[in-house]
Amino acid sequence: MTVPEMVTTSQLTAQDRRDHVLARLGYRRMDHRVEPGLYRLGRPDRSSPVFVSANYALSFDALRSALSGLDAFILVLDTKGVNVWCAAGKGTFGTDELVERVEATGLKDLVDHRRLVLPQLGAPGVAAHEVKRRTGFVVEYGPVRASDIPAYLRSGATEEMRQVRFPLRDRAVLVPVEVKNVGLMAIAATVVLYLLGGTVPALAALTAALAGTALFPLLLPLLPTKDFTSKGLVLGDLVAVPFALYYLATSPGWVGGVYAIGTVLLMAPAVAYLALNFTGCSTYASRTGVRREIFRYIPVLVAMALSGLVMVAATAVGTSMGWL
Amino acid sequence: MTLDIPMVTAEAADRNALNTLSFRPSRCVNCGRCWEVCPHRVFAPGEKRARLAAPERCMECGACQRNCPTGAVAVDSGVGCAAAMIKAALTGSKEVTCGPDCCR
């Protein structure tokens, strides 16, 4: 059975770029897909290379735009609209899907060679030796980043090309989705605190939400300590300082002190919890490490937040009722 | 009375305390796949066998294990995502990974 091939180019249109922006904003996250199957880029012949990608628009577009000026085949696997690395972890960018896709597209009859170039980050899902045994095609893992492909084709992979990093740019593009994910919760908390305590508590909630979702990814390597949660606690303490100082300066005597401490005890664990939840977005957190962090810090965060809540609530109720 | 005999496997595996990665050099055929696929350069090429160069950098993605043709590498692979683990714990479901259900 041979499925007719599709045609693509290495040019990204204005519509592609709009789609990228929407994907980065988290708008209909699972709907940025391309049709799985075999694509012709340029005018590939029987000796042209075959690149394998996922059917997430950002993955496919990164690949095809990196192949500018080249004639090649692109084999798109059905990863349900998920990027290469995450799909490989899940197994949808996997051995079975690749083998089936190679057979369904009749790739053997289109090229004389028996080589498939896969993104290196597809490796958690694909057993190269099994693909060879089942299809005859040798899997060659290309670089981590599609933009390195031209250099890779010229002179092979360097150590740098094989390494995943997490530079500012890669962290910054995640911020909109992070903010969006806590958006409703943050707005609700801000409104509730505004009704209960006025502008300053509302601002504190908003600050904690933005610190955990926007500042934290941006500042990640600059924050001291090693794990995510303690980095989050450090950042949470820092952003709580202005609020603590405000209460010390405006509320009389011990009441200001209690509000100041209570604010830190509430803001720091909130930011730390959001920081802990960023582990899955990072490029280096291991399951063992994250599990350890959860067991080590969640009880601490809950204890901090509860004691902060009791301190602030008791003082607020007590002073307003004239008991204290 | 319990017999306090340590578990001994037929061949020793290089393990480490930080994660679940282990490597049995005796099974390695030096095909080079592990250091080709590792995104954190945990493995390095060696003369006769691959070398476990920096096990502490392992993120348990499982690429090396999946691509090792002789089973010399073992790792309990999974996604290091607190959001997924906490969600799974709260809903009592199996640990979720990235994909359609991620972060939603």
For A79, nearest residue in chain B (alpha carbons): B99
Residue B63 Cα, gap to closest chain A Cα (Å): 4
- Selecting from B62, B80, B100 the residue whose C-beta is nearest the C-beta of A280 gives B80
Which residues, in sequence order, are bridge partners of residue A140?
A: A117
- Selecting from B58, B63, B84 the residue whose C-beta is nearest the C-beta of A280 gives B84
Residue A167 Cα, gap to closest chain B Cα (Å): 14
- pLDDT, one tens digit per residue, over A122-138 is 999 999 999 999 999 99
Q: Is some CB atom of chain B closer than 8 A to the CB atom of A228?
A: yes
What is the reported pLDDT for A4? Answer: 63
Note whether B79 contacts A82, CB cutoff 8 Å: no
Contact B66, A125 (CB under 8 A): yes
What is the reported pLDDT for A93? Answer: 96
Which chain A positions have a beta carbon within 8 Å of B104's beta carbon?
Answer: 29
pTM of this prediction? Answer: 0.90
Which chain A positions have a beta carbon within 8 Å of B58's beta carbon?
Answer: 286
Q: Is the pLDDT of residue B95 over 70?
A: no
Which phi and psi (to 5°) does residue A76 adopt? -100, 120
Contact B44, B50 (CB under 8 A): yes
Tell me what ipTM this predicted complex has.
0.90
Contact A25, A180 (CB under 8 A): yes
Q: Is the pLDDT of residue B7 over 80?
A: no
For A144, nearest residue in chain B (alpha carbons): B39
Neighbours of A294 (CB within 10 A): 17
Residue A139, classed as helix, strand or coil, is strand
Lowest average pLDDT, out of A59-73, B11-25, B41-55, goes to B11-25
The whole-angstrom separation of Cα A263 and Cα A132 is 60
Averaged confidence pLDDT in chain B? 83
Q: Is the pLDDT of residue B3 over 60?
A: no
Q: Is the pLDDT of residue A312 over 80?
A: yes
Q: Is the pLDDT of residue A26 over 90?
A: no
Contact B95, B82 (CB under 8 A): no
For B85, nearest residue in chain A (alpha carbons): A291
What is the reported pLDDT for B18? Answer: 84
Q: B93 burial class (0-12, 13-18, 19+ CB within 10 angstroms)?
A: exposed
Mean pLDDT confidence for B53-68: 96
Interface of A with B in 260-319 (CB under 8 A): 276-277, 279-291, 293-294
For residue A221, what are its two tokens? Answer: 């390597």
- Selecting from B18, B67, B99 the residue whose C-beta is nearest the C-beta of A90 gives B99
What is the reported pLDDT for B1? Answer: 46
Q: Is the pLDDT of residue A320 over 70?
A: yes
Q: How far is CA A112 from CA A49, A82, A109, A118, A136, in A?
A: 10, 31, 7, 18, 12
- pLDDT, one tens digit per residue, over A215-268 is 999 999 999 999 999 999 999 999 999 999 999 999 888 999 999 999 999 999
Residue B78, classed as helix, strand or coil, is coil
- Selecting from B57, B76, B85 the residue whose C-beta is nearest the C-beta of A294 gives B85
Note whether B85 contacts A290, CB cutoff 8 Å: yes
Confidence category of residue B12, pLDDT binned at 50, 70, 90: low
Note whether A164 contacts B40, CB cutoff 8 Å: yes
Q: Is the pLDDT of residue B4 over 60?
A: no
Note whether A279 contacts B18, CB cutoff 8 Å: no
Q: Is the pLDDT of residue A302 over 60?
A: yes
Contact A140, A116 (CB under 8 A): yes
What is the reported pLDDT for B101? Answer: 55
Mean pLDDT confidence for A148-166: 96
Mean pLDDT confidence for A63-74: 96
Confidence category of residue A78, pLDDT binned at 50, 70, 90: very high
